[in-house]
Structure 1
Amino acid sequence: MLSDTRPGRTAKIDLDDAGEIRSFALTTGDLALSGRMLRIGALIDIDTELKAAEAAALRELVQVLSHEIVNALTPIASLAATAVAMLDDPVPPLPELREAIETVARRAASLHRFGESYRALARLPTPALRRTALAGFANDLAMLFTSRWPAIELAVEKHEAPAHLLIDPDQLTAALWAVLQNAAEALDNAPDAKIHLIFKARVGRTLIGIVDNGPGISARDESDIFRPFFTTKAEGSGIGLSLARQILRGHGGDLALASSRVGKTEFEATIPA
Structure 2
Amino acid sequence: MNDKDSLYRTMVAGGDDPDAPVRVRVEHRGDRAVVTLDEPRRLNVLSAPLVRQLRRALVDLDADPDVRSVVITGADPGFSAGGDLKMMDAAIKQLDAPEGAADIWRWIRREFGGVARLIAGSDTIFVAALNGAAAGVGLAWALTCDLVIASERAVIVPAFGRLGLIPEVGTSWALTRRLGYQGALAYYLRGEHIDAREAQRLGLVQEVVAHDRLLAVADEWCARVSAMPPHAVAMTKPLLRAAADADWADALTLEEFAEPSCFTTGAFADSVRTMLS
Which band: TM-score by shorter chain?
Answer: under 0.3
Q: Which has the higher strand share?
A: 1
TM-score by length of 2: 0.20
Q: Which has the higher helix share?
A: 2
When Rg is computed on C-alpha atoms for both structures, the one with the higher figure is 1
